[in-house]
Amino acid sequence: MTPPGSLIGLLGGGQLARMSALAGRRMGYRFRTFDPAGEAAPAAPVCERVVRAPFDDPAALEEFARGLDVVGFEFENIPPASLRIVERFCPVHPRWQALEICQHREREKNFLHGQGFPHAAFRVVTTLAELTHAVATLGAPCVLKTAESGYDGKGQLKITPGMGLAEAWEQWSGGRPRRGVVEAWVEFDAELSVICARNGHGQTVSFPVFENVHAQHILDVSIAPARFAPEVLREAVALAEAVTEALDVRGLLAVEMFLTREGKLLVNELAPRPHNSGHLTFDACVTSQFEQHIRAVCGLPLGGVDLLRPTVMVNLLGDLWRADGSAPDWTPVLAEPDAKLHVYGKAGAKPARKMGHFCVLGKAGQPVEAVLAKAREIQERLRAK
């Protein structure tokens, strides 16, 4: 066990590291972060020290790791070799093998398939000929996705019936060698996620199921409690915990799923870290996902995750910021007594960049639809400012 007062390292200094450090500091932990952005990283103001270097700099990683008691990460696209360097000096959680699987769509799909977990049918492609065969096998529409470094819809191309595959391959690959995964098109009724925490001492705790709504491939709204049948909620938690166990995660694992029109759950993506859909836990649950992240990485007993009030989270993207870079007028959020504003402190707003979020908390027993309506109303007023 790594007790409060210890020095925790965080690989990656973005908003997830920032919120994890804020949660951990309340418990008495100290933090050091590693990020190529250095002092401009969102987590920098809440950490004792920032190491600024690329994630593949061995000397900087060694400098970062010396004197730390344990290390976690908040970003998937870190070379597993970097984790292996750090773990020569202190424990790293989750283990590098889990990161290696989850950061690469081909390895992730092969893991799910090999373990027998439900997922969309897929084929791995590296050439136009393989793409042609995959589309013939899976049918169109289908989705061509990059095998690595893809998130929020980046590196994805929908293949529609009758589309010229040579042109599609050229558009997606840019004429360069590229490895991808073609997934069968899934007709789904809803998207959902379950965030599991596992502390390495036999304890696994799952947050309530979150119902997620995306816009332009980016998470727009998360809703808790999720509006699904009790048997779907139970099955989603059981499936997520089985995946977490199979990956041997110590820390957090977010399991994103589709609920198909036939009522079947399919695992879509895995993230071995705090997850955007769990940001509402900061305000809505007994223990936030960020405190739970620290507890799990440090091997502490896990906290309770009961939902205190129905809650809806709305992402705030850089599109809301003005042309001169100034922030929006936050009055629509701040004027609502049951709303909570979170701004991440990122330097430079860009379209589609996650700059913050807000939550609207309902009254105990209030239908979550009413909370969702209030959140949408605030969202529209922000857009109109």
Q: What is the CATH number of the domain that holds 133?
A: 3.30.1490.20
If you average pLDDT over residues 23-47, what whole number do you get? 97
What pLDDT shows up at residue 150? 62
- The pLDDT of residue 324: 86
Query: 3-class DSSP state for residue 108?
Result: helix
Does the structure show a pLDDT above 70 at 151?
no
pLDDT of residue 78: 94
- pLDDT band with cut points at 50, 70 and 90 for residue 87: very high
pLDDT recorded at residue 175: 83
Domains: count for the chain = 3
Residue 347 has what pLDDT? Answer: 86
Q: Do both 45 and 167 map to the same domain?
A: no
Q: Do 177 and 205 belong together in one domain?
A: no
What range does the domain containing 36 cover? 7-92
Look at residues 167, 184, 201 and tell me which one is the last residue of a structural domain: 184
Q: Mean of the pLDDT values across residues 219-247?
A: 98
In tens, the pLDDT along 310-326 reads 999 999 999 999 988 89
Residue 111 falls inside a structural domain: no
Q: Are residues 363 and 250 in the same domain?
A: yes
Say whether both 164 and 203 belong to one domain: no
Residue 103 falls inside a structural domain: no
| Residue 4 predicted with pLDDT over 70 | yes
Answer yes or no: do 88 and 144 share one domain.
no
Q: What is the pLDDT of residue 323?
A: 85
Q: Is 34 within the bounds of a domain?
A: yes
Within-domain flag for 129: yes
What is the domain-level CATH number for residue 21?
3.40.50.20
Instruction: Clarify whether residues 268 and 224 are in a common domain.
Output: yes
Task: Return the CATH number at 268.
Answer: 3.30.470.20
Q: Supply the pLDDT for residue 315.
A: 98
- Do 27 and 80 fall within a single domain? yes
**Average pLDDT of the chain to the nearest whole number:** 96
2 CB-near residues (< 8 Å, 6+ apart): 8, 69, 70, 297, 298, 299, 300
Q: Would the pLDDT of 158 be above 80?
A: yes
Phi, psi of 58 (to 5 degrees): -60, -40
244: tokens are: 């977490």
> How buried is residue 194: exposed, middle or buried, by Cβ count under 10 Å (0-12/13-18/19+)?
buried
Distance CA 181, CA 177 (A): 14
In a 3-state reduction of DSSP, which class is residue 124? strand
Side by side, the strands of the sheet bearing 49-51 are 49-51, 30-34, 7-11, 70-73
Residue 109 lies in a domain: no
113-129 as b/e, with b when 16 or more CB fall inside 10 Å?
eeeebebbbbbebeeee
Q: Residue 201: what are its φ and ψ, rounded to 5°? A: -125, 30
On whether residue 52 sits in a domain, the answer given is: yes
Same domain, 350 and 300: yes
Q: Which tokens go with 152?
A: 């929020």
Condensed to tens digits (0 to 9), the pLDDT of residues 285-303 reads 999 999 999 999 999 999 9
380 phi and psi angles, rounded to 5 deg: -65, -35
The predicted pLDDT at position 298 comes to 98
Confirm whether 152 is domain-assigned. yes
User: Is residue 146 within a helix (H) or strand (E), and if so which, with residue range?
Assistant: strand 142-146
| 36 upstream amide cis, omega within 30 of 0 | no
Same domain, 233 and 328: yes
Domain endpoint, select from 55, 76, 92: 92
Residues 79 and 175 in one domain: no
pLDDT of residue 155: 82
Is the pLDDT at 5 greater than 90? The verdict is: yes
* Cα–Cα nearest to 11, from 89, 101, 93: 93
pLDDT of residue 88: 97
Inform me whether the pLDDT recorded for 153 exceeds 80.
no
Lowest-pLDDT choice from 160-164, 261-265, 309-313, 381-385: 381-385
pLDDT grade, residue 381 (50/70/90)? Answer: very high
How far is the C-alpha of 49 from the C-alpha of 32, rounded, in Å?
A: 5
Last-in-domain residue among 76, 92, 108: 92
Please tell me whether residues 146 and 246 are part of one structural domain.
no
Report if residue 113 sits inside a domain. no
Pairing mode, if any, of strands 251-260 and 188-198? antiparallel
User: HSE on the CB side for 20, CA within 13 Å?
Assistant: 33
Q: Say if residue 169 is in the same domain as residue 202.
A: no
How far is Cα 76 from Cα 99, in angstroms, rounded to an integer? Answer: 7
Sign of the four-CA dihedral 145, 150, 153, 155: negative
Residue (of 320, 304, 268) closest to 122 by Cα position: 268
